Amino acid sequence: MAFYQMDPADLWSLAQKIDSFVNFDIYTDGSYNNSLSTNEFHMGYGWHISNIMDFDLFYHGAIEHFPSSTKAEIIAILTALIILPPHSSVNIFTDFQAAIEGYKKSSQLHFISPRRYNKINYISLWSVIHDIIKKLSLKLTLIKVKAHSHSAYHDKADELAKVGRLKPIPTAINSNASSTQSVSLVWNDEVVLDKDIRKNMGKIIDYRWIDNHLTHNNLTDIYTFTQRNMINWDATSRFFHLNSRNDSTCSLHSKDLSWKVKSSTNMLPTFDILNQNFPDLITDKDTNCLLCNNTLEMQTHLWTCPVLLPHIRETFKELAIIAQGILQKNADKLNLCITDSIKYSYTFRWSLRDNETITDNAILLLRSYITEDLYRSFRTHFNTHKSTIKFLLEFVDVACRLIKGRVWKIRSAAWKNKNVSWV
Largest CA distance in the chain: 103
**What is the spatial distance between Cα 36 and Cα 31, in angstroms, rounded to a whole number?**
12
Secondary structure element (H or E) that encloses residue 4, with its range: strand 4-5
**What is the spatial distance between Cα 352 and Cα 63, in angstroms, rounded to a whole number?**
48
**What is the spatial distance between Cα 122 and Cα 193, in angstroms, rounded to a whole number?**
8
Q: Could you tell me which residue, 119 or 363, shows the higher pLDDT?
A: 363
Cβ atoms within 10 Å, residue 84:
24
Most confidently predicted of 149-153, 204-208, 343-347: 343-347
Label residue 246 exposed, middle or buried (CB < 10 Å: 0-12, 13-18, 19+): exposed
Q: For 100-183, list the strands marked E by DSSP.
A: 139-144
The whole-model pTM stands at: 0.64
- For the chain, state the CA radius of gyration: 29
Mean pLDDT of 35-44: 80
pLDDT, tens digit (0-9, with 9 covering 90-100), for 395-413? 999 999 999 999 999 999 9
pLDDT at 1 over 50: no
**What is the spatial distance between Cα 130 and Cα 114, in angstroms, rounded to a whole number?**
17
Secondary structure element (H or E) that encloses residue 192, with its range: strand 191-192
Three-class DSSP labels, 331-379? CCCCCCHHHHHHHCCCCCHHHHCCCCCCCHHHHHHHCCCCEHHHHHHHH
pLDDT at 334 over 80: no
pLDDT at 203: 77
**What is the spatial distance between Cα 93 and Cα 174, in angstroms, rounded to a whole number?**
25
Name the CATH topology of 4-192: Nucleotidyltransferase; domain 5 (3.30.420)
Number of H helices, E strands in the chain: 18, 9
7: left (phi over 0), alpha (psi -120 to 50) or beta: beta
Mean pLDDT of 300-319: 94
pLDDT at 42: 87
pLDDT, tens digit (0-9, with 9 covering 90-100), for 70-97? 999 999 999 999 999 999 999 999 988 8
Mean pLDDT of 142-152: 83
CB burial of 388-398 (b: ≥16 within 10 Å; e: otherwise) equals bbebbbbbbbb
Structural contact between residues 347 and 373, judged by C-beta atoms closer than 8 angstroms: yes
pLDDT at 147 over 70: yes
Q: Could you tell me which residue, 61 or 286, shows the higher pLDDT?
A: 61
Q: Which of 5-9, 150-154, 292-296, 366-370 has the lowest mean pLDDT?
A: 5-9
Label residue 196 exposed, middle or buried (CB < 10 Å: 0-12, 13-18, 19+): middle
Assign 420 a pLDDT band (cuts: 50, 70, 90): low
pLDDT at 150 over 90: no
Mean pLDDT of 139-165: 88
**What is the spatial distance between Cα 421 and Cα 417, in angstroms, rounded to a whole number?**
6
What are the structural domain ranges in the chain? Answer: 4-192, 200-422
Q: Which of 269-283, 323-337, 362-376 has the lowest mean pLDDT?
A: 269-283
CB burial of 50-67 (b: ≥16 within 10 Å; e: otherwise) equals beeeebebbbbbbbebbb
Nearest CA to 315 among 364, 355, 348, 270?
A: 348
pLDDT at 403: 96
Tell me the DSSP string of 90-123.
EEEEES-HHHHHHHHHHTTGGGS-HHHHTTSTTH
Label residue 380 exposed, middle or buried (CB < 10 Å: 0-12, 13-18, 19+): middle
pLDDT > 90: percent of the chain:
46
